[in-house]
A and B are shown apart, each in its own frame.
Chain A
Amino acid sequence: MRAAGLFFFLIATILPLQVNASVAGEKSGQFDATEMIMHHIADAHEFHIVTYTKASGEEVHISMPLPVIIWHSGRFHAFMSSRFHGGKNLVPVEGAYLKLYHGKIYLTNVEGTIHYNEKGEVANAKPLNFSITKNVASMFLGSFLIFLIFGTAAKRYSKRGGLAVPKGIQLLVEPIILFVRDDIAREQIDARKADLFMPYLLTLFFFIWINNLIGLIPFFPGGANLSGNISFTLTLAVMSFFAINIFGSKHYWKEVLIAPGIPFFVKIFLVPVEIIGLITKPFALMLRLFANITAGHIIILSLTSMIFIMQSVYAAPMTILLSLIMYSLEFLVAILQAYIFTLLTSLFIGMAVNEHH
């Protein structure tokens, strides 16, 4: 815990906070809930902390700038996102300029012109962007927390050859680890092989769960919609795809590719379906997690937006109550989705590696 405190202290001291000011009057007019929500669930190149309006009507955004890493014309360009000044400044690279526009970095000309195609989408080229975005920063924080929690717990487990009476953080993590081992892994995978997949399943479960929870924290350094980002869920789904298929038994591959004991004309249809099934399983995992977490964020943000849409403070009690209910539900969803992702991965692994069905 001391290490965690030190970590946050370091962040807080190193933090070169960026303060951007804009005149509130600039964005006058109707409150656009869709834009606000899309802005919140999308990734960003800065970690927004707080926005307030001065008496003079000037809006002040305080945010933590994040490193931008761009691969352009054969080399990396790294700088802090504060150089964009919230999108007002261009950053020159070889033969082009980088512009931050709606949270994304585009290549532009010296004027920073943004072209649109006929669908109204930005047509400018995007450089390869390996930036530490808000989501990546949130993920680093999550990974660090996970490592801290389980590293601390593991140290305790090493005492007295594992026979020390569990206490402290052990009591918190042990039931969950046992749950993942006994009710997720061993339930689906043959006991002898289940242990091989335990590190993957445990890491997957806690990676999803902790990142879901950090995403639910409504203020800095939480609130990034990381586990509701398709890139995140795609990556985990691909990992699960490999975990499922790399250790597949001969029997499993025979079932998929030859479908033994089935008439030939059925085989013609069944084998392609089976092969597509290899992809659809992780695809479903990807979409399920993405949709559930993003939907949760959207609902909570929508409920909050109600106050501004109705432009009445009397809407607040109702929306706050509903948000509270949704928040409780989201805490459940956070662990439920981690559970479902891990359980289904485990189930598919079981189908692939078990000797008999």
Chain B
Amino acid sequence: MGLLMPDPGLVFWTSFSFLTLLILLRKYAWKPILRALKVREEYIEFSLKDADQAREELRKLSDTRKQMIEASRLEREKMIREARDLREEIIREARTAAEAESTRMIEQARAQIQRERKESLSEIRQQIGLISLEIAEKILKQELASDEKQKHVINEYLNQVNFN
């Protein structure tokens, strides 16, 4: 039964040691250690949250970029389409204008030509008339240089003339 009898001296020293150790460790060990563990845990948690947030932001950013690229692509296509349309429009208009102009010019030219032909024709006719007259005069002068010939022509004409 000696084993089961508490010894006041040992009870005292155990209380003394344990309480001293509790106070000392509380101040010099547990507080810094537990605080450091807490700080580290919070830091890790915060970092993880931060990383998540950063990832989310990156995702958003890349989404925005994609959207912007898409938008700019659409814009570019639109512009190209518009430019093409505009070009075609311009070309069409230019063609129409040119055609109209050329038609007009051709008409004008044709009219000019017509007119000039007419003019030249009448001039030619006049010339021909004059030249014919001169030729006729010359021929007449030549043909009728002798009297015999004059007689002959007169006869011939007279022969041709029907006296009916």
Q: At the interface, is chain A mostly helix, strand, loop or mixed?
A: helix
A200 within 8 A of partner (CB): yes
Other-chain residue from A38, A41, A42, A132 in contact with B13 (beta carbon distance below 8 A)? A132
Residues of B1-36 at the interface with A, using a CB-CB cut-off of 8 Å, are: 2-15, 17-18, 20-22, 24-26, 28-36
Bound: A43/B26 CA distance, A: 30
Q: How far is the CB of B51 from chain A (nearest CB, A)?
A: 16
Establish whether residues B11 and A150, one from each chain, have CB atoms under 8 Å apart when the complex forms: no
**Contact A203:B25 (CB < 8 A) given known A198-B34, A235-B14:** yes
Interface residue stretch chosen among A28-36, A158-166, A246-254, A261-269: A158-166
Can you name the residue of chain A whose Cβ is closest to the Cβ of B2?
Answer: A42
Is the beta-carbon distance between B14 and A231 smaller than 8 angstroms? yes
Would A154 and B28 count as touching, CB distance under 8 A?
Answer: yes
The answer to whether A239 touches B18 (Cβ under 8 A) is yes
Known contacts A146-B25, A150-B25, A198-B30; A130 and B39 CB within 8 A of each other: no
Q: Which of B2, B9, B10, B13 contacts A128 (CB 8 A)?
A: B9
Cβ of A139 under 8 Å from chain B: yes
Q: B26 contacts A199, CB within 8 Å?
A: yes
**Which one, B2, B5, B7, B18, contacts A236 given CB within 8 A?**
B18
A202 touches B3 (CB 8 A): no
B34 proximity list for chain A (CB < 8 A): 177, 181, 195, 198
Closest to B30 in A: A199
Of residues B15, B17, B37, which shows the largest number of chain A Cβ atoms within 10 Å of its Cβ?
B17
- CB of B40 within 8 A of chain A? yes
* Chain B CB within 8 A of A140 CB: yes
CB-CB under 8 A for A146 and B21, given A153-B29, A157-B36, A161-B39: yes
Residue in chain B with minimal CB distance to A105: B9
CB <8 Å contact, B22 and A200: yes
Write out the residue numbers on chain B whose beta carbons fall within 8 Å of the beta carbon of A154.
28-30, 32-33
Q: Choose among B9, B18, B38 the residue with the greatest number of A CB atoms under 10 Å from its CB.
A: B9
A147 contact set on B, CB distance < 8 A? 21, 24-25, 28-29
Complex alpha-carbon distance, A132 and B28, angstroms: 26
Give how many A residues have a beta carbon under 8 Å from the other chain's beta carbons. 48
By a beta-carbon cutoff of 8 Å, the part of chain B in contact with chain A is 2-15, 17-18, 20-22, 24-26, 28-40, 43
A133 beta carbon closer than 8 Å to chain B: yes
**What residues of B have a CB within 8 angstroms of the CB of A69 in the complex?**
9
Tell me, in angstroms, the Cα distance from A139 to B9 when the chains sit together. 13
Which A163-212 residues have C-beta < 8 A from chain B? Answer: 163, 173-174, 177-178, 181, 195, 198-200, 202-203, 207
Residue A230 CB within 8 A of the other chain:
yes
Asked whether A260 is an interface residue with its Cβ less than 8 Å from the other chain, the reply is no
- Separation in Å of the A101 CB from the closest CB of chain B? 12
Whether A21 sits at the interface, judged by CB under 8 Å, is no
Jot down 17 A-B pairs with beta carbons below 8 A, ordered by A.
Answer: A38-B2, A129-B9, A139-B13, A143-B20, A147-B28, A147-B29, A150-B29, A154-B29, A177-B34, A178-B37, A181-B37, A199-B30, A203-B22, A230-B6, A231-B9, A239-B15, A294-B3
| Complex Cα spacing A42 to B8, Å | 15
CB distance from A81 to the nearest CB of B (A): 13
With beta carbons under 8 angstroms apart, the residue of B3, B35, B36 that contacts A41 is: B3
A131 near B9: Cβ-Cβ < 8 Å = yes
| Contact status B33-A129, CB under 8 Å | no
Q: Report if A271 contacts B (CB, 8 A).
A: no
A234 is an interface residue with CB less than 8 A from chain B:
yes
Alpha-carbon distance A230/B29, docked complex (angstroms) = 28
Note all chain B residues with C-beta closer than 8 A to A162. Answer: 32, 35-40
Residues of A within 8 A of B36 (CB): 157-158, 161-163
Is A259 an interface position by the 8 A CB rule?
no
Nearest neighbor of A147 in chain B, beta-carbon distance: B24
Shortest Cβ distance from residue B3 to the other chain A in the assembled complex, whole angstroms: 7
- The minimal Cβ–Cβ distance linking B1 to chain A, given in whole angstroms, is 8
Cβ contact within 8 Å between B11 and A157? no
With A and B bound together, what is the CA distance between A177 and B26 in angstroms? Answer: 13
| Bound CA–CA A157/B6 (angstroms) | 39
A163→B9 contact, CB < 8 A: no
Chain A residues, Cβ within 8 Å of B17 = 136, 139-140, 143
A97 interface contact, C-beta 8 A: no
In the bound complex, CA of A184 to CA of B47 (Å)? 27
Mask, A207-243, CB within 8 Å of B = 1, is: 1000000000000000000000111101110010000
Query: Is A136 within 8 A of B10, CB to CB?
Result: yes
